[in-house]
């Protein structure tokens, strides 16, 4: 039904304009008649557009669409009929213009009712695919088909005339097209009335008690106060303004390339081809990227492409720029329409769609008109005495491109649903099928320290020494490990590390399964141990964390490191340690230490090549982010290592506040106040701390 309606709309645009042009003689008169009908189709948007959405939300949408289609059926049918019975060209053209005005006014009511009804007919998960099909049909297939139908009818009409066949006036190409259009409206009305009853019942009724003026102001207030909708609407209008500048300056730009009408036609076709490609391929290209972010990036792409178009020295680069402009516009249109249908409540959806439809018409008309006037007035000028020509066309395109990019940035600030997540990193990850997650708000006041290193590096020893030192400084410390810090983690630890369990299994643990088990332990560990302790302001010291998975499963098992990184980031909600202490050791020395300690676990029994890869994996991670790592030679003296670790950790910790003096029985103070950082036993401090807090 929507495809037939779209074909009818495009055919009506072409047919009414050519019909009016055919009723007069003379090039000037024909041009005026053609342009007047096009202008009349845009004029109702200024007059009726703001109220169309209120009508779509106030009246039953099914009956609204049916009545609108029946009225358009009558009006379209009368345009060629009046011409049959009137010999006055002024009356014929005048009625064509008047009927066109009425048709466009009625269409402004029909479109919001249709657009607001679609989300109620289609599951939300399929809404984007439905919009994709509709937009490809509306802006890709049917404009070409409408032009082809009208051109074919004209060729047939001319062939019949050359053959001496007299064709009735009602069978002229434009008249036939208008009759076809009229009956397509009738068919649409019948389909909606008898075949799509589900549209009814989503509006009307209870809204009748609210005045139309109140509904109108409520709709605009909703748009103004809702950041997502505000950014969406203004972003769409900005994109259409940039597109209007491209269309308005197109013929002048073609002349600046040394071409003419053919060059303009090529650029115009490239924009529509790009539009279709953006709509058809965009969702597959960006994968799981947030549709809000996709919308804003699409507007930025269109803006950058318009700016680059202004710099194109010849046609081949201009065609590439035009394709990118169309692709950005197509993706923005698809994502914007999907967001409007999926995230705007049904009770105000018609008004929001009406604002978009009206705004795009007005902005497009103004952009085309003003850009054409400005380009005509500006002309081309040389820069100083260099003889380099700078045309107003290219300047205007550059300005429009910059404004389009700014509109995209502004829309992103209004409607970004993943704040704090790097935009381009999220885009590239989404294109690979792994969109970045939003970091969970930690609200942490504590410090998170992680010890990493190969087998036998001495992590446990250094963790114990640091724990003892921090407790002596009156710090609240939580020492934990991965895997195995929780009951669930202990069971996972047995599965991934116990050598006897691995030996008794019929098949070895697959590398990807191993990575998933570590991620499962980490997700539970962070949620139940690490984050709660950090929120309490405690110091968390963990024996292994994300880097172990990147080194052991990534480098050691040769799994894709970026996949392991994404999996770990998802499991932890983006929680990163404040400091990673990497105890680096030659695998042969470390494994020799393990051998003296006793039976090796499943990972410790891996080949020396495996452990070499693990070591280099750790060092690569530290090299990539040196500010967060402390890399130490694990073969050095234990106390020297402990001292260096303590100095680095001290930079992360707030000073220990002195305890207040305790009053004695005589009103004085019992004992002295220990100096900040002065060692005291953990028992003494715990008793004093409890007394102070109480």
Q: Which residues are annotated as a binding site for ATP?
A: 453-460
Q: Which DSSP symbol is given to 382? A: E
Residue 509 token pair: 């643990």
Residue 77 token pair: 């049918």
**Measuring CA to CA, which residue among 103, 48, 43 is closest to residue 76?**
103
Distance CA 268, CA 319 (A): 9
Q: Which DSSP symbol is given to 57? A: H
Distance CA 114, CA 53 (A): 11
3-state secondary structure at position 673: coil
Could you count the other beta carbons within 10 Å of the beta carbon of residue 87?
7
Partner residues linked to 380 by β-bridges: 391
User: How would DSSP label each residue in 275-302?
Assistant: HHHHHHHHHHHHTT--HHHHHHHHHHHH
Could you tell me if 39 and 63 are in contact, meaning their C-beta atoms sit under 8 angstroms apart?
Answer: no
Tell how far CA 278 is from the center of its chain.
14
**Measuring CA to CA, which residue among 31, 272, 14, 21 is closest to residue 150?**
14
Angle at 46 between CA 44 and CA 48, to 5 degrees: 60
Q: Which DSSP symbol is given to 550? A: I
Partner residues linked to 663 by β-bridges: 669
For the chain, the 3-state helix, strand and coil shares in percent, each to the nearest 5, are 70, 5, 20
Length of the chain, in residues: 694
Partner residues linked to 448 by β-bridges: 540
What's the longest Cα–Cα distance across the chain?
A: 130
Could you tell me if 223 and 415 are in contact, meaning their C-beta atoms sit under 8 angstroms apart?
Answer: no
First to last CA, the chain: 74
Could you tell me if 381 and 389 are in contact, meaning their C-beta atoms sit under 8 angstroms apart?
Answer: yes
Sign of CA dihedral 296, 299, 305, 307: negative
Residue 88 token pair: 């006055």
Distance CA 7, CA 4 (A): 5
Q: Which residue positions form the known binding site?
A: 453-460
Q: CA separation (Å) from 650 to 195, 449, 647?
A: 74, 12, 5
Backbone angles phi, psi at 261, to 5 degrees: -65, -35
Residue 393 token pair: 């066309």
* Dihedral angle over CA of 354, 357, 363, 364, nearest 10: -170
Could you tell me if 31 and 18 are in contact, meaning their C-beta atoms sit under 8 angstroms apart?
Answer: no
């Amino acid at each position: 039904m929507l495809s037939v309606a779209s074909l009818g709309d495009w055919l009506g645009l072409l047919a009414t304009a050519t019909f009016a042009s055919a009723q007069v003689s003379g090039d000037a008169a024909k041009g005026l008649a053609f342009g007047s009908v096009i202008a009349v189709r845009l004029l109702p948007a200024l007059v009726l557009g703001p109220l169309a959405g209120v009508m779509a939300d106030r009246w039953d949408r099914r009956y609204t669409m049916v009545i609108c289609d029946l009225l358009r059926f009558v009006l379209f049918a009368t345009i060629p009929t009046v011409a049959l019975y009137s010999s006055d060209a002024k009356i014929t053209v005048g009625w064509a213009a008047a009927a066109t005005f009425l048709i466009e006014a009625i269409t402004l009511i029909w479109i919001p009712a249709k657009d607001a009804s679609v989300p109620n007919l289609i599951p939300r998960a399929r809404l984007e695919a439905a919009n994709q099909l509709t937009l490809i049909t509306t802006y890709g297939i049917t404009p070409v088909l409408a032009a082809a139908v009208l051109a074919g009818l004209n060729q047939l009409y001319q062939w019949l005339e050359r053959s001496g066949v007299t064709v009735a006036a009602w069978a002229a190409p434009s008249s036939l097209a208008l009759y076809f259009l009229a009956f397509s409206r009738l068919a649409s009305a019948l389909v909606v009335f008898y075949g799509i009853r589900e549209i009814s019942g989503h509006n009307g009724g209870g809204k009748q008690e609210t005045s139309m003026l109140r509904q109108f102001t409520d709709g605009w207030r909703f748009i103004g106060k809702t950041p997502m909708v505000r950014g969406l609407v203004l972003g769409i209008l900005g994109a259409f303004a940039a597109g209007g500048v491209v269309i308005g300056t197109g013929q002048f730009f073609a002349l600046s390339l040394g071409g003419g009408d053919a060059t303009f036609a090529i650029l115009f076709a490239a924009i529509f081809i790009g539009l279709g490609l953006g709509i058809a391929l965009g969702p597959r290209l960006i994968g799981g990227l947030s549709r809000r972010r996709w919308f804003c990036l699409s507007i930025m792409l269109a803006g950058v492409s318009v700016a680059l178009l202004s710099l194109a020295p010849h046609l081949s680069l201009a065609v590439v720029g035009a394709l990118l402009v169309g692709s950005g516009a197509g993706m923005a249109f698809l994502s914007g329409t999907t967001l409007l249908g999926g995230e705007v409540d049904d009770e105000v959806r018609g008004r929001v769609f009406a604002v978009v439809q009206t705004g795009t018409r007005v902005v497009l008309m103004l952009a085309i008109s003003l850009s054409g006037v400005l380009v005509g007035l500006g002309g081309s000028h040389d820069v100083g005495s260099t003889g380099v020509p700078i045309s107003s066309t290219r300047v205007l395109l550059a300005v429009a491109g910059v404004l389009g990019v700014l509109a995209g940035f502004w829309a992103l600030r209004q409607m970004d649903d993943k704040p704090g997540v790097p935009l381009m990193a999220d885009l590239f990850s989404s294109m690979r099928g792994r969109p970045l997650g939003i970091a969970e708000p930690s609200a942490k006041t504590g410090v998170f320290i992680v010890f990493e290193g190969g087998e036998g590096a001495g992590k446990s020893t250094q963790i114990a020494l640091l724990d003892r030192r921090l407790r002596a400084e009156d710090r609240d410390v939580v020492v934990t490990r991965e895997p195995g810090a929780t009951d669930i983690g202990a069971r996972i630890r047995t599965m991934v590390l116990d050598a006897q369990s691995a030996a008794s299994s019929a098949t070895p643990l697959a590398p990807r399964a191993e990575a998933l088990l570590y991620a499962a332990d980490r997700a539970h560990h962070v949620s139940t141990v690490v984050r709660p302790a950090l929120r309490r302001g405690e110091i968390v010291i963990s024996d292994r964390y994300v880097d172990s998975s990147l080194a052991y499963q990534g480098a050691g098992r040769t799994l894709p490191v970026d996949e392991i990184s994404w999996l770990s980031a998802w499991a932890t909600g983006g929680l990163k340690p404040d400091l990673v202490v990497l105890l680096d050791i030659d695998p042969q020395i470390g494994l020799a230490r393990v051998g003296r300690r006793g039976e090796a676990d499943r990972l410790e029994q891996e080949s020396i090549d495996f452990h070499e890869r693990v070591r280099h994996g750790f060092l690569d991670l530290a090299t990539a982010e040196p500010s967060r790592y402390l890399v130490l030679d694990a073969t050095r003296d234990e106390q020297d290592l402990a001292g260096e670790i303590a100095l680095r950790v001290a930079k992360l910790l707030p000073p220990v506040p002195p305890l207040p003096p305790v009053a004695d029985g005589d009103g004085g103070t019992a004992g002295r106040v220990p100096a900040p950082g002065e060692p005291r036993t953990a028992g003494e401090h715990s008793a004093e701390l409890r007394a102070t807090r109480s």
